[in-house]
Structure 1
Amino acid sequence: MESQLLTLVLEEIMQEAYFPCEWKVEWLENNHFINLELQFMLANPEKRSISDRFNASWNQELVPLQYQVIFYLKNRVKVQNKNVLKAIPVDPIHGIKYGDVIAVVKYLKRLATAVRSRWQDYYQTMQAGPFEIIWNDEDYLQVVQSLQDTYRYSDRDIYFPQSNVDQPN
């Protein structure tokens, strides 16, 4: 069986999922991780000062918010979770299960689909604190379980791209 690269699988699954926002998959070879980024442009018609969880603030008509999920090589990268929505380890030898990649995208789509309505609620009530979406591991694991219960979870391994960074010349 031919091995598949995580970057290509992510691109394909994301395209098929029809996300309600801009997104990109980017392999950062030098840092040994794959970045899956979602970007939303949210309406701020009154040009209120809005901040995100990183304390960046905007007072323009469109507020750009970005959320990232990273897939990183386990034992190669030290991840600081405060900068990403979720950091997911990938075994350098065994990769990651295709079913887990599907579950990540399905769960992200659920989060992304709720952003605009959550934004409206936040904007109308001007809640204290930054606007953010939060990854909930229990909800994610329910997606994994649902895939398994309906026999749509695949144990096929998906691999991290080979890096030329640490290769001798």
Structure 2
Amino acid sequence: MNTEKLIKNIIDQIKEAQIKLGFAKETTRLYYPVESLNGMLGCRAEDDIQMLAILEGAGLENGELGLLRFSAHKGRIEISVPPEGAVYVHEQVGEPAFLKAMIELFRQDHHCRISDIRNLFESFSKDYVCEKMPEGSDFDEVFYFKDALIDPYYYCVKEEMGHTIYHRFTKEDMANLW
């Protein structure tokens, strides 16, 4: 079981929130679909109860993020990270350059265009992918770097009613969206 992938994802989610909203020494609650956790952990839980048992037996409770707590909620797993986890991420984890630039682009202009996002990706590497999402998808385009060391996430973008939004997904979650 690949628990390192899950811990990294938790840290990445907390860091993204801290870049967007600022640091707060408080409990963070993250909600993961069982399907996402299966992909990250490399397991095959059939439902939230099975996944809860897997997580509770994985030895994840006491690490750098503090005492993690897990609970099942209608097909999803809540992972509760105590305030010391937020402090750890704030003090020990640097701000990823690309993510910081992406957030700044959206902070400056909620009406940014696909071309603005392309320009941002290109400023980090010419070796990126921009693809149209399938018809009926919740998103218009997906962007990602071929070199995951630049940034490992897939950024799905939607333009609607004069606003542009993005959501970040893992490679495994993207496979489920397509």
Q: How would you bin the TM-score normalised by the shorter chain?
A: under 0.3
Structure number with the bigger relative contact order (C-alpha 8 A, sep ≥ 6) is 1
**Whose helix fraction is larger, Structure 1's or Structure 2's?**
2
